[in-house]
Amino acid sequence: MDDTGTATLPELLAVVLLDPGTGRFVVDRQRTERALAGAVLLDLAARGRLATDDRPRPRLRLLPGPATDVVTERATRLPSGWFPARRGVSRLVPGLRPAVLDALGSGGHADREPGGFLRSARWWPEPALRGALLAGVAAALRDGVAVDARLAGLVSLLHAVRAEHRVLDGRRRELRERARVVADGDWAGPAVTAAVREVQAVTAAVAASAVTAGDGR
């Protein structure tokens, strides 16, 4: 993770989720947005900007601090006082995806190809950065190498949106099982755990809705 520079966790997640062959995200918009929102909460927690209470399903509270990047700027959209992680994710989603992409472009971590008639813009992630991130993810999922909290957060978010096999070659079941082990590890505090679980719950609900729609119910 030494080559990530000053990129925030949502930016790093976007780099991994962007397909260098298509310039688009490898998972659908709903999962992308919720994963990025979860990444904002994880990043804030890592900076000591989120407090938690002692409930079985802890609530979160944003602590004061300056707005200096896409994470802290978007944090101003969070509710005041205590809030459940689900509400935090919902409040962060609107406008987050383009804000993260713009931050990637401004930081030199992705190039934007303008869209045209009936075609949306495409984003091409910086190859060196994406390669370094995927090397870290692969070390964790294929080789069982212990990872730091930031990379563990990245793996946990990939697991939450079922994207492990979309960014790494390998057997889907094995990648998911190893990612689950990382996600369930003791690297995270209550705020991070709440954020990851909320992304997982919302993603499961989205998947269930898609199945129901496919059944014509």
- List, in order, residues 6 or more apart from 109 with CB less than 8 Å away: 7, 11, 15, 125, 126, 129
CB 141 within 8 A of CB 178: yes
Closest CA to 61 of 203, 201, 187, 194: 194
Is residue 60 one of the residues assigned to a domain? yes
Q: Would you say the C-alpha torsion 26, 32, 36, 38 has a positive or negative sign? A: negative
Domain that holds residue 81: 7-214
CB 110 within 8 A of CB 101: yes
Is residue 88 one of the residues assigned to a domain? yes
Which pair of tokens denotes residue 144?
């069982």
Residue 83 has pLDDT above 70, yes or no: yes
Instruction: Report the alpha-carbon distance of residue 11 to residue 3 in Å, rounded.
Output: 13
**Mean pLDDT over each residue of the chain, to the nearest integer:** 87
pLDDT in tens, 162-216: 999 999 998 999 999 999 999 888 777 888 888 888 887 777 665 555 434 444 4
Is residue 1 one of the residues assigned to a domain? no
pLDDT in tens, 109-157: 999 998 777 678 899 999 999 999 999 999 999 888 888 889 999 999 9
Number of domains, the chain = 1
| Residue 117 CB-density burial (10 A; 0-12 exposed, 13-18 middle, 19+ buried) | exposed
Say which CATH number the domain at 154 has: 1.10.3630.10
